Structure 1
Amino acid sequence: EIAQGRRVVLRPAEEWDYLSPLLIDWLPHEQMREILAEAHATRIIIEPAIAAIAAKHMTKENLERLGTLLAAMSASEDNPDAYLKLDLDFHMEICRAAQNRRSE
C-alpha cells in the first residue's frame, strides 16, 4: 500500500491483488507463472458452470451483444490491448446473462 507522505506498508500476501500491474512487475517471473497457472485452473472449473447458468437465462439482447463482441474480437486480433478489453467485456456479458451481481 503506497500513499504520498506516508511510509510503504506491505500487506499480508493473503490480501494481495495478484493481477495488479505493480505486483506482476515486482514478483519473480516463475512465481507469477505459478499464480497464473492456478488462476487458469480455477477458471476452467468456474467458466463452464457460469456459461450453463447464462444459457438458461440468455436474452436476445445478451446474444446480440455477445455476437457483436465476438465480431469485434475477430477484427482486433492484431491489437492485443483492444482484444483483451473485448474479451473481458465478452466474459462480463456472460456473467450478466447468468445474473451474476459481480458483473455490475
Structure 2
Amino acid sequence: MAEYPGRGLHREVVEQLGLRIVRGDYPPGTRIDVEALEPELKVSKTVVREALRVIREKGLIDSWQKRGTFVTSRDSWKLLDTDVMMWRREARRDDDQLLSDLSQLRNAIEPAAAGLAASHRTPDDLAKLDAAFDAFRQAGENVDRLAAADLDFHLLILAATHNELFVRLDTVVIHALSARNRIQHHPGASWHDPVPDHRAVLEAIRQGSTPIAEAAMQYALRESDQDLTSGEPPLNPGSSDPRRY
C-alpha cells in the first residue's frame, strides 16, 4: 500500500500520531482524547479529523459510539502499509522481529518473482535490468549508489513479472532492503560481494530459465540473510550453487 500522499500539517499530524501509536505511547485499547489534540498539536479540528481518518484506514484506530476513538489491537493493523512499516522502523522497538519477518517474506516472494520474470520478461525489461545491474556493479563502495541500484534491480524484477499483484509487493522489498542496509552499512559491518549473485539472477532471467532464476534468487537471499546474522558467507552449496550455470 502506498504511503499517505498528504502534505504540510496534514502529513505532519498523521506521522506524529501514527508513530506514537506504533511506538506504544498509546497502547492498544487506549482512548484518544480527540478534543485535546487540537491545542496540543496546534492545528485545527479539520486537520485532526483528516489525520485520524487516514490513521483509521491503516487499521490503527477505530471509533465506537460511547467509547470514542481508541487504539486497536495489533492484529487489526495493516502491517504491509508503507507508513505503518516506516513507523515501525522509526520506533526501533522490534527491529529484530521486523527484519526477520521481512526476510522471510522476501524469501517467499522474490524467488517466485525471479522465476516469473524469466518467463515473462520483454526486451525492454532486460534492457532496464542490464542498466540497473551495471549501476550496481559500478557503484563500488559508494553506499548510496549501491543501495539505490540494488533497489532498482529488485523492483525491476517485480515489474518484469508483468503481474500487477507482485508489483504491489514493492513495499516489502523497499523496507526489507532499507532495514538491511541500515545494519550492513553500520561501521564495522562486513559482507560478501553481492555482484556475482545479482549477475547470476540476471543471466538466468535473460536465459528464460524459471528454475535457475528461482534458485539464483534463493541463493542470493540466503547469502544476504547470512550476512545479517554472522557476517560470514554461507557454506558452498556445491552443485546446487546457481552461479555455476
Q: Structure 2-normalised TM-score?
A: 0.36
Residue number in structure 2 paired with 1:78:
141
Cα gap change, 1:100/1:88 in structure 2, threshold over 3 Å: closer, same or farther? Answer: farther
1:1-104 to structure 2, matched below 5 A, reads 1-2=14-15, 5=43, 6=48, 11=60, 12=72, 13=74, 14-16=77-79, 17-18=84-85, 20=86, 22-28=87-93, 31-101=94-164, 103=167
Q: What amino acid is the match of 1:26?
A: A
Cα gap change, 1:34/1:77 in structure 2, threshold over 3 Å: closer, same or farther? Answer: farther
Q: Which runs of 5+ in 1 are unaligned?
A: none
State the shift of 1:77 in Å.
3.4
Q: Distance in 1 between matches of 2:130 and 2:15?
A: 41
How many percent of aligned residue pairs carry the same amino acid?
Answer: 25
RMSD over aligned CA atoms reads 2.6
Higher relative contact order (CA 8 A, sep 6+): 1
Q: Which runs of 5+ in 2 are unaligned?
A: 1-13, 17-40, 61-71, 169-245
Tell me the secondary structure at the aligned position of residue 15 of structure 1.
coil
Tell me the secondary structure at the aligned position of residue 162 of structure 2.
coil
Q: Distance in 2 between matches of 1:42 and 1:51?
A: 14
Structure having the higher Rg? 2
**Aligned pair count?**
100
Residue number in structure 1 paired with 2:207:
none
